[in-house]
Structure 1
Amino acid sequence: MSKFWELEEVPLKRHLNPKEKAFEAHFINHTLRLESGRFSVSFPLKDLPDCLGESYTLAKNRLLTLEKRFRKQLDVKLQYINFIREYEELGHLTESTISKPNPSYFLCHHAVFKNSSESTKIRVVFDGSAPTSSGHSINDILMVGPNLQDSLFSILIRARQHKYLLTGDVKKMYRQNRNMQLILWREDESLPIKTLILNTVTYYGMASSSYLSTRCLWQLGEECSDE
């Protein structure tokens, strides 16, 4: 019976614990609104990046393994190339002038396919949990942050208060520290391997991205009126 009543209770307002309060304070103190209207955020690190070891070797081995797959699946290679090119065209990545910055973290990456997607069938996922030579990964030193989304109950009740309901999907929402988001890439095995910098928040594989993007949306709502 107690479980039944717990399920039927109206959700109470959530209070942040000390770690979540620290994340919120970090966001407030390290987030800027650019002239373009976009938010510039900083990774909420709970430890110094010096604890990260060497990650280049693993990232290179993963790339070489990926290229073996490309030899057998040319269609996957083409889609992968197009995905990385789009990143570059949008300014979401640039080539680094230093092949192995220090400190740095090289993200391993692979493809995930979603045939039901109307926009992008292929998605490149970046592995922020791949351990470096010290045993630590970038996700190990990132704060995750609290869940800012309302409960499903609250969302449904609020939706029923209006005559019309609009929903939408923010395209390429999760893409803004630079040397902590490096990848290795080349379009063909005959070319030299390049170090690329991801310039925007990487959702696919980074522990703090969900909070950072949702918190930016919340901040946008605070700064903008309904007019």
Structure 2
Amino acid sequence: MLQKLWEVEEISVPKLVSEADEFCEQYFADTTRRLSDGRYMVRLPFKSEFPESVTLGPSRTTAMGQYVRLHKSLSKDSDLRKQHDNVLQEYVDLGHMTEAEPFEVIIKNKYFFFYLPLHAVVRPESKTTKLRVVFNASRRTTTQFSLNDVLHKGPTLQSDLLGILLNWRLYKYVFNGDIEKMYRQILVHPDDRQYQRLLFRPQSSSIIKDFELKTVTFGVNCAPFLAIRILRQLAEDYLPQRAPTKFLKLDFLERRQAARRMGYCANCLASTHRLHECKSNEVCHRCGDLQHTLLHAVNNGGRSKSPSNKPKSKVVA
């Protein structure tokens, strides 16, 4: 209790960004692209040690054994087995996974494929989803490394729950929503999909077939980072064009305060970093300073500040 008291009263200190987190952010920026249909496509952030010093071993045999055992267990309850098969069949029907050739790529005894063992989590008390299919990317291969071991997890981008709840007190009305199949709205680059393979017997087949998951997959350690980062990227892509009228009516200081309160950088309005981390070179279209145009400052008389001959510098709150 005493420790928690000190933590509450302590002034928060910005967390240091690790080299791994910096790599994930830069790799995301360099490799993520948006397709013509509006969807984003990402790459999996593999560690630099892979595949030289950290390697994967065979995984298909392990995944096959797990699938056979799982189906044998679910056969005791036809309803659960049907739910399990329906979940994976939906992946096929929606185009979120596609059939693949049954082989593994091996180069100098190093495996460049990974098969995700399947597990079923049963929750009898649930009123909606009584069975949930889990993709186990932490199952180690013969090299003692799993897919999650060779991937960077990425920084935690989710906002603190306490902060979200406190922000709700600032408004008269709040809305709570859910993005259906959030992870599965994001495509994984074709060159990385062989690391998201699984085994499944479709309803129209009598044999077990190989499949590749085409989207960001729950169970892979970098999935939360990729999903939240895509949300922030989407917000950044649309924020300048769709700034809310209420925000535009605020004065300079109020806009900066609102941006900080909602978790945006007070220089560029990005949600991927904070003010002290900002490296934006965006120039205000009205005064020429290094800041977002929506954060343009005015003099006390209400007139825009004129561009100066001094070197451009960021506005610091």
TM-score, length basis structure 2: 0.65
- Candidates 209, 218, 228, aligned match of 1:194: 209
3-state DSSP class of the match of 2:144?
A: coil
Q: Return the offset for 1:114.
A: 4.1
Aligned position for 2:61: 57
Alpha carbons of 1:163 and 1:197: their partners in 2 closer, same or farther (altered >3 Å)?
A: same
1:29 corresponds to 2:30: yes
2:183 is matched with 174
Look up the equivalent residue of 2:15 and give its one-letter code.
R
Return the alpha-carbon distance in structure 2 between the equivalents of residues 58 and 180 of structure 1: 15
**Contact 2:64–2:199 under 8 Å retained in 1:** yes
Larger deviation: 164-173 or 118-127?
A: 118-127
Alpha-carbon offset, residue 16 of structure 1: 1.3
Residues 32, 39 of structure 1: 8 Å contact kept: yes
Q: How does 1:99-118 map to 2 (within 5 A)?
A: 99-102=102-105, 103-114=112-123
Query: Over residues 82-108 of structure 1, what are the superposed CA-to-partner deviations in whole Å (9 max), with x where a residue is unaligned?
Result: 111111111111101x21131210000
Q: Which runs of 5+ in 1 are unaligned?
A: none
CA contact (8 A) 2:63 2:116 kept: yes
For 1:68-217, list aligned pairs within 5 A: 68-96=72-100, 98-102=101-105, 103-114=112-123, 120-175=129-184, 176=187, 177-187=192-202, 191-203=206-218, 205-217=219-231
Tell me which residue corresponds to 1:39. Answer: 40
Greater C-alpha radius of gyration: 2
Q: How far does residue 118 in structure 1 lie from its aligned partner after superposition?
A: 6.3
How many residue pairs match? The answer is 224
Distance of aligned partners of 1:194 and 1:58 in 2 relative to their CA distance in 1, 3 Å threshold: same
Q: Percent identity?
A: 38
Distance 1:53 1:64 in 2: 21
Q: Normalization by structure 1: what TM-score?
A: 0.90
The alpha carbon displacement at 1:170 in A equals 1.2
Mapped partners of 1:86, 1:34: distance in 2:
23
Q: Deviations over 1:138-194 (max 9, x none)?
A: 000010111112223432332222221111111111233210000011147x82220
Cα pair 2:89 2:202 within 8 Å, conserved? no
RMSD over aligned Cα atoms = 2.1
Residues 67 and 118 (structure 1), Cα distance of their counterparts in 2 relative to 1, 3 Å cut: closer
* 8 Å CA contact 1:11, 1:151 repeated in 2: no
SS at match of 1:27: helix
Q: Which has the higher helix share?
A: 1
Aligned-partner Cα distance in 2 for 1:162–1:64: 53
Report the alpha carbon displacement of residue 26 of structure 1 after superposing the two structures with TM: 1.0
Q: Give me the whole-angstrom Cα distance separating, in 2, the residues matched to 1:178 and 1:146.
A: 22
